[in-house]
Structure 1
Amino acid sequence: MKRIGIISICILLLLTSCTPGEKEEEEIVQDVKEKKEMSIVPSYKLSKENYRMLLPYESGAARGVIVNQLANRVDIDEIEEGLRRHSKDYFDPETYIFREGQFLSAETVYGWLGRKLTEKQLEKEVQSEVKKLKEAQMTVNEEKIRNQLQQGINPPINNKNNAKEQKKNPKYLSHIVEQNYLITKDKQAKVAGISIGLSMKSVYRFYTEDKEKKRTFHETDIPKDKMLEVGKKNAQEILSRLRKMEGLENVPVMFAIYQEEDESSPVPGNFVAKTFVDKGQNEIGKWKSIKEKNVLFPSNEAEKHHVEESEVIKRFSNDVADYFPNYVGVIGKGFYINDELSKLVLDIPIEFYGKGEVLGFTQYVYGLAKELLSNNYHLEINIKSSTQMESLIYREAGKDDLNVHIFQ
């Protein structure tokens, strides 16, 4: 393929990257924290599979909490994007508008992620709070104080410095992601559905202190079946709390349980189960299993369980080495649904000494992709230098043509 061919494909990509949707842009009024606010519904979206989003864009009420709760950046991206992907089964992008969660504040989420208090701990905390209020000559409502203190969903422990007790009762739930789905009627936008993602640990890390305040760090693996059992109970508890919130008494709720990967993993974890609770319902019924997996290439898991893709990627990497013998290797990330490869992302880090090298190498990789990589899955090839992304090659599943973009 000639160089001009690559450039023409780039132009085509720029012209088609934002395709107008069928709905016209409109101004609507939405209820936000008991106030009426004017928002704009865009007349376009990136594709039929994507949700339209209100303008100006609203950050979530619990913005920033996820960064403090999930240690792995790839898990952060996957749980947010994956929750939106699974929400499409219940909230059609052609009908619903996406908004980041506005009901669960950062304070609420942090409170729910804490541990429940034992009866002894609760009573001690209540009496301490009552004493403070009385000294300040303020009104005392013990029942309200108890409810405020007993917000934690994770299991209680008597002594946080008892490693055995901590391992037996780990903090399973590490984060709660909320997403809102709105519909418009008569220029009014109302929440017509919400999705809740429960991020569950696969490894629990903690520390204990001795009398000299010396810390000892521990970790324990959490079996998937136990994580799933606890996650389902947590979802029921959260549903009960949501139903007591103003505006959510009758709103449909989708729950999805996400199992995190280890904090050092180069690939994210995955969703393992989801369920839908219709409007007005207060009990969760059946759960639907989700069979998804993210796989690193090359890796022992890939060579053992995904032999065909491993061999193809290995051949692809070897052919790249024939062109650039001193490069460090292709790194692949495969996303599987029901054991079928759905998306493959290949990263190729190489040092270049001019734009001509970038163009020539991109053309070479383009040919390899056409020859070796199937069109049964979404494909993305990122060609990078140490300072920036140099070029991108991608193809949608089922398409024959590859799209190319050279970054300037």
Structure 2
Amino acid sequence: MLKKLLVIVSASLILLSGCLPFDNLKKDPVVEEENNDNEKAIPLQNINTTEDKYYKSLKNYEPGAARGEINYGVDNRIDIDEMELGLMRLSKKTFDVDEYYFQEGQYISKDTIRNWLKRTSQDVGKGKDAFLQEGLNPGLDEKAYENADVKKKIDMLKKDPKILSYILEQNYLKDSGKDSVKLGGISIALAFNSTYYFTVKDEKGRLHPGEEDLTASEVKKYAAKTGQEVINRLRQHPELKDVPIVIGLYLEEKHGSVVPGNYFGKAVVKPGETKVDWEDVNEKYYFFPSKEAEEDHREDYNTFIQFESKIKEYFPNYIGVIGEAIYREDQLSKLSIEIPMQFQGKAEVISFTQYVNYLVKQYFPDEVVEVNIKSSLDQIESLIVSDPSKEDSIVHIY
């Protein structure tokens, strides 16, 4: 996501390929790192993007208490990114970007997350956090499972799949005066499996993989119950009793998916309260071109195909065009397009970029569109960002 700035492209423009295409971040005055209360110093900079405005970060970065743990809970990198950025997006209505500062979660440790992801029937380790440490996933008859053969174990896991895959925490801090900040609230995301993947080991040490698809109704029912329990546990912590809590419910995509999953529920729990009133979140990602996109959004799909055909007509070294679209409330919110090409020189890059920019305005005049044009070596050659609220696009040649 990049802040809008019109860049005039010419053959004489030379930029280092390792640098950002434009760097116009405004820095706040440097402040003292600590005051007499030992509270964190306020941050240095704020970053705006085409679609979102990011939170300020603390001057002295402090890693989260569960740093890196998400990689063991969520398998897909694009799911990890969407889960994190999506939780920020859900948080903005409660924690205003201009008033709050972002910090990675400091209250839920790795040990607590690991314990919470266990089954209700499993023994849990000793967590140092002031939270109940019992597992949250559906239980099994652990003794029967231990004594079962491979087939029986697979059947048991399919019957009672694990649904919860991860818990993500984010903290939002407010200015408390004297160039310092204090906790203003927290946001929590619960990630759920759309498909439960597991492995069973036999007596010879051989591994037997298995999987079980979960129904939307099954996940939704379990998610609401689990989300309420997580809120109850968070309120046990003395520092979290009287702060607002934003909670989001995230459904992961299947392994190997080229698009991320989506948030399907959210709630805001007022300070001092535990009752959760869930709201539906209607958003979904689509890959273009794909059968699913054609079935659910035929008009946009046909427009994309026409856009692609015009590129193919114009440029002989055409390789392909792919897109990722996010729909909110069933309306196209943003389309990201990637075009890999084979170029013979910078003049071709400039000419092609100008033509693509023209096509974007012709075919997607009312949508936010970001286009990355790459060489055959997967190096980004140019960037186009088009926004209907702006008369001109961002156009940059690397």
1:6 matched residue in structure 2: 9
1:275 matched residue in structure 2: 267
Question: Does the CA contact (< 8 Å) of 1:29 and 1:39 recur in 2?
Answer: yes
Secondary structure of 1:179's aligned partner: strand
- For 2:106, the aligned partner's letter is Q
Question: Does the CA contact (< 8 Å) of 1:348 and 1:382 recur in 2?
Answer: yes
Question: Does the CA contact (< 8 Å) of 1:377 and 1:398 recur in 2?
Answer: no
2:4 matched residue in structure 1: none
Name the CA distance, whole Å, in 1 between partners of 2:132 and 2:64: 24
Secondary structure of 2:9's aligned partner: helix
1:249 matched residue in structure 2: 241
Question: Does the CA contact (< 8 Å) of 1:358 and 1:391 recur in 2?
Answer: yes
What is the deviation of 1:379? 0.9
| Residue in structure 2 matching 1:225, options 217, 229, 236 | 217
Q: Does 1:18 align with 2:18?
A: no
Say which structure is richer in helix.
1
2:356 matched residue in structure 1: 365
Q: Does 1:309 align with 2:300?
A: yes
1:321 matched residue in structure 2: 312
Secondary structure of 1:276's aligned partner: strand
Which stretch of the first structure deviates more once superposed, 301-310 or 329-338? 301-310
Q: Does 1:378 align with 2:362?
A: no
1:216 matched residue in structure 2: 208
- Pairwise CA RMSD of aligned residues? 3.0
Which stretch of the first structure deviates more once superposed, 89-98 or 335-344? 89-98
Secondary structure of 1:257's aligned partner: strand
- The structure with the largest alpha-carbon Rg is 1
1:166 matched residue in structure 2: 157
1:140 matched residue in structure 2: none
Q: Does 1:347 align with 2:347?
A: no
- For 1:266, the aligned partner's letter is V
What is the deviation of 1:396? 2.7
1:240 matched residue in structure 2: 232
Secondary structure of 1:189's aligned partner: strand
What is the deviation of 1:154? 1.0
Q: Alpha-carbon deviations, 1:327-358, whole Å to 9, x = none?
A: 32100111000010000000001122222221
2:140 matched residue in structure 1: 157
Name the CA distance, whole Å, in 2 between partners of 1:50 and 1:305: 31
What is the deviation of 1:5? 4.6
Cα–Cα, structure 1 residues 400 and 172, in superposed 2: closer, same or farther, change >3 Å?
A: same
- For 1:179, the aligned partner's letter is Q
Q: Does 1:175 align with 2:166?
A: yes
TM-score by length of 1: 0.84
- For 2:199, the aligned partner's letter is Y
Q: Does 1:82 align with 2:86?
A: yes
Q: Which runs of 5 or more residues in structure 2 are unaligned?
A: 1-6, 15-19
Secondary structure of 1:315's aligned partner: helix
Name the CA distance, whole Å, in 1 between partners of 2:317 and 2:188: 46
Cα–Cα, structure 1 residues 41 and 212, in superposed 2: closer, same or farther, change >3 Å?
A: closer
2:387 matched residue in structure 1: 396
Cα–Cα, structure 1 residues 397 and 73, in superposed 2: closer, same or farther, change >3 Å?
A: farther
Name the CA distance, whole Å, in 2 between partners of 1:148 and 1:332: 43
Which stretch of the first structure deviates more once superposed, 311-320 or 238-247? 238-247
Question: Does the CA contact (< 8 Å) of 1:30 and 1:190 recur in 2?
Answer: no
Name the CA distance, whole Å, in 1 between partners of 2:161 and 2:388: 41
Question: Does the CA contact (< 8 Å) of 1:27 and 1:41 recur in 2?
Answer: no
Question: Does the CA contact (< 8 Å) of 2:42 and 2:175 recur in 1?
Answer: no
Q: Alpha-carbon deviations, 1:57-87, whole Å to 9, x = none?
A: 2222211111122111110110000000010
Name the CA distance, whole Å, in 2 between partners of 1:257 and 1:150: 21
What is the deviation of 1:148? 9.5
Secondary structure of 2:293's aligned partner: helix
1:99 matched residue in structure 2: 103
| Residue in structure 1 matching 2:44, options 28, 42, 53 | 42
Cα–Cα, structure 1 residues 206 and 44, in superposed 2: closer, same or farther, change >3 Å?
A: closer
Name the CA distance, whole Å, in 2 between partners of 1:263 and 1:246: 39
What is the deviation of 1:39? 2.4
Question: Does the CA contact (< 8 Å) of 1:18 and 1:46 recur in 2?
Answer: no
TM-score by length of 2: 0.86
2:3 matched residue in structure 1: none
